[in-house]
């Protein structure tokens, strides 16, 4: 008989923490679950620590080489059989009543996903003074925030109905730091979500001085990956063909700009909406989407629906140019051009000096 809950747990080099995680799962007040741990080719004794636990509800799958978070989730989902999926990395810790609260709450509401608060712990299992709250808001406002600003929801302890996750499978294995943000968008495009009012997960976030590192550490490389993955996150919205949903998500912008979404011009519409974001990378994505639409569909379509001409297209750069990052880019570009001129003059003078000699 299939369990009611499948816990999908990516695991990589968690030798020091995985035992605490497994103990927290086995101590749940709700016992009808399976725990699927996917070791992503760890280089420490992670697998040996997992194998110390002999509970039949634990399934261990070992990747032959390191493949990343989404690949591990794909593997775990393929091996799962529960009607509900709970996502939790093997360096986090569940509170004893987590599965019980999740199971009863998600089944009392007409929702596809349930989010919980997180209490942050460090590498020594010490509770910090930080609690991470998912943004509790309507489906439309959450999609608007994810489009304009970025991630505002939590993934550890997130519970998803398996039938809703099926349309996401397989997850994009190239995504890393924004993989959960992409999942949130795809799920919100399907239906409603709910929230647990109390923390159910102790979420591990290493301190900057810790010897161990995990993907949640906000160092320079992590922040750079976040920016590099934003275009792929924004591409997710291009899968939405629900005009009524988009009208609700961008109600304020539609009223202000007088620009309505249409099936024939969805790419242009979303590109124009992205130009309203305060973030430079999102603006650039929007501009590029409009460029692509213009090339693929032609100005005739935009002229007939929005009275939009090439002159209007040229003015769109003003939306992008207003960002301070663009100003920095122009400043560096100016200095770079000046450097090239100086270098060119130096070369000319050297040549003249050689010939003079």
Q: pTM value? A: 0.87
- The residues, ordered by sequence, that sit 6+ positions from 86 with a Cβ below 8 Å of its Cβ are 5, 6, 7, 8, 33, 99, 102, 157, 158, 159
In angstroms, the CA 260 to CA 248 distance is 11
Q: CA 20 to CA 336: how far, in whole Å?
A: 53
236-253: per-residue pLDDT in tens? 999 999 999 999 999 999
High-pLDDT (> 70) share of the chain, %: 87
Query: H-helix or E-strand containing 74?
Result: helix 69-79
C-alpha closest to that of 183 among 137, 146, 225: 146
Sequence-separated contacts (24+) of 321-329 with Cβ below 8 Å: 323/278, 323/279, 323/280, 323/283, 324/280, 325/280, 326/280
Length of the chain: 357
Asked whether 2 and 81 are in contact (CB, 8 A), the reply is yes
- Can you tell me whether residue 60 is helix, strand or coil? strand
The answer to whether the CB of 47 falls within 8 A of the CB of 38 is no
Superfamily of domain 5-232: Spore Coat Polysaccharide Biosynthesis Protein SpsA; Chain A (3.90.550.10)
For the chain, give every domain's residue range. 5-232, 240-321
Question: pLDDT tens digits, residue range 185-196?
Answer: 999 999 999 999
- The set of residues, in sequence order, having a beta carbon less than 8 Å from that of 251 and lying 6+ positions away, is 140
Question: Pairing relation of β-strands 127-132 and 33-39?
Answer: unpaired
Two tokens at 213? 């590192």
72-121 confidence digits (pLDDT tens): 999 999 999 999 999 999 999 999 999 999 999 999 999 999 999 999 99
Residue 36 contacts residue 74 (beta carbons within 8 Å): no
pLDDT tens digits for 116-175? 999 999 999 999 999 999 999 999 999 999 999 999 999 999 999 999 999 999 999 999
Token representation of residue 233 = 């996150």
Question: Are the C-beta atoms of 84 and 106 separated by less than 8 Å?
Answer: yes
What DSSP line would sit under 95-158, residue for residue? -TTHHHHHHHHHHHTT-SEEEEEEEEE-TTS-EEEEEE------HHHHHHHHHHT---S--TT-
Q: What is the pLDDT of residues 313-354, one digit of tens each?
A: 999 999 997 544 434 434 444 544 555 455 555 554 554 555
Average pLDDT of the residues in 272-282: 97
Instruction: Give 207's pLDDT tier (boundaries 50, 70, 90).
Output: confident
The tokens describing 171, both together, are 């997850």
d(C-alpha 274, C-alpha 285), whole Å: 7
């Amino acid at each position: 008989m299939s369990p009611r809950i499948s816990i999908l747990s990516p695991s990589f080099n968690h030798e020091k923490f995985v035992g605490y995680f497994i103990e927290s799962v086995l101590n749940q007040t709700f016992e009808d679950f399976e725990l699927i741990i996917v070791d992503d080719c760890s280089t420490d004794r992670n697998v040996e620590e997992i194998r110390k636990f002999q509970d039949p509800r634990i399934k261990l799958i070992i990747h032959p080489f390191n493949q990343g978070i989404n690949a591990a989730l794909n593997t775990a989902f393929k091996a799962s059989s529960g009607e509900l999926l709970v996502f939790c990395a093997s360096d986090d810790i569940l509170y004893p009543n987590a599965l019980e609260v999740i199971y009863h709450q998600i089944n009392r509401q007409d929702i596809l996903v349930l989010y919980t608060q997180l209490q942050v712990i460090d590498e020594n299992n010490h509770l910090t003074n930080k609690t991470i709250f998912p943004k509790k808001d309507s489906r439309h406002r959450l999609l608007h925030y994810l489009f304009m600003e970025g991630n505002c929801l939590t993934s550890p302890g997130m519970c998803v109905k398996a039938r809703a996750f099926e349309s996401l499978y397989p997850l994009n294995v190239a995504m890393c730091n924004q993989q959960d943000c992409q999942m949130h968008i795809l799920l919100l495009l399907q239906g409603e979500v709910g929230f647990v009012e109390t923390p159910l997960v102790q979420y591990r976030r290493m301190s900057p001085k810790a010897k161990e590192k995990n993907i949640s550490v906000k160092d320079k490389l992590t922040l750079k990956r976040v920016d590099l993955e934003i275009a792929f996150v924004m591409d997710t919205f291009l899968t939405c063909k629900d005009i009524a949903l988009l009208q609700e998500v961008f109600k304020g912008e539609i009223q202000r700009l007088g620009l309505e979404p249409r099936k024939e011009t969805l790419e242009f519409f979303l590109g124009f909406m992205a130009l309203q974001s305060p973030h430079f990378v999102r603006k650039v994505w929007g501009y590029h989407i409009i460029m692509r639409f213009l090339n693929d569909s032609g100005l005739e379509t935009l002229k007939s629906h929005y009275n939009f001409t090439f002159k209007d297209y040229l003015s769109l750069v003003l939306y992008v140019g207003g960002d301070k990052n663009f100003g920095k880019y122009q400043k560096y570009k100016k200095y770079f051009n000046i450097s090239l001129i100086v270098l060119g003059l130096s070369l000319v003078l050297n040549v003249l000096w050689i010939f003079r000699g």
